[in-house]
Amino acid sequence: MSYRPTLLLICLFVFTSCSSNPGTNVYQGKKIEIDYRFAENIQDQSWVKVDTIEFRHERDRRVAENSEFILPTSEIVLDSLETGRTLRTRSSSNSIPMYLSRAFALINISSNDDAKNTVTYVVPDPSIASVTGKFVVQKSDSSLVRIEVPKGYPADVNVLID
């Protein structure tokens, strides 16, 4: 009996499932920080993934208002109902940690309602996140948090505790 085809399939599965997308950077640690203080030119449709939760940057406010887990871009587009004109405005990247903090507060409420998922996220000092421009996250059970961003993502990601 030949085990080579089975072994080859197992190896192929293990290597492809363990590798991350070559166009991304992946960070793992018990406590991770995303520093938005000097992030410029955050593009539409760029994203941040925390574990399995994807946050997408959206330029158009109409889309953002009707979607979950949306973050602003460096430029926001607004439609004026009064004039019918489209307005563009710059957005401070320091506001992004506040959006993330609010999202994780909602995620924690949702996971508390779900008896199967009891691990919640801890976001220290969410009230000052927009002042510092930094988003820090860890899990309540001290397990690893995984953050994935596309290569060239303008915010710095730092593992604070391995």
**Amino acid 87: pLDDT:** 81
- Residue 7 falls inside a structural domain: no
Residue 111 resides in a domain: yes
Using CA atoms, how far apart are residues 138 and 16, in angstroms rounded to an integer?
27
Please check whether residue 79 lies inside any domain of the structure.
yes
pTM assigned to the model: 0.80
Where in the sequence is the domain holding 45, given as residue range(s)? 25-161
Considering the domain boundaries, does residue 100 fall inside one? yes
Instruction: Judge whether 19 lies within some domain.
Output: no
How is 99-130 classified by DSSP, letter by letter?
Answer: HHHHHHHHHHHHHHH-TT----EE-SSGGGHH
**Total structural domains within the chain:** 1
The DSSP H or E segment spanning 160 is strand 156-161
6 in a domain, yes or no?
A: no
Span 155-162, mean pLDDT?
A: 97
Answer whether residue 64 is part of any domain.
yes
User: Which neighbouring-strand residues pair with 147?
Assistant: 27, 50
Whether residue 81 lies inside any domain: the answer is: yes
Residue 11 scores a pLDDT above 50: no
Per cent of the chain over pLDDT 70 is: 82
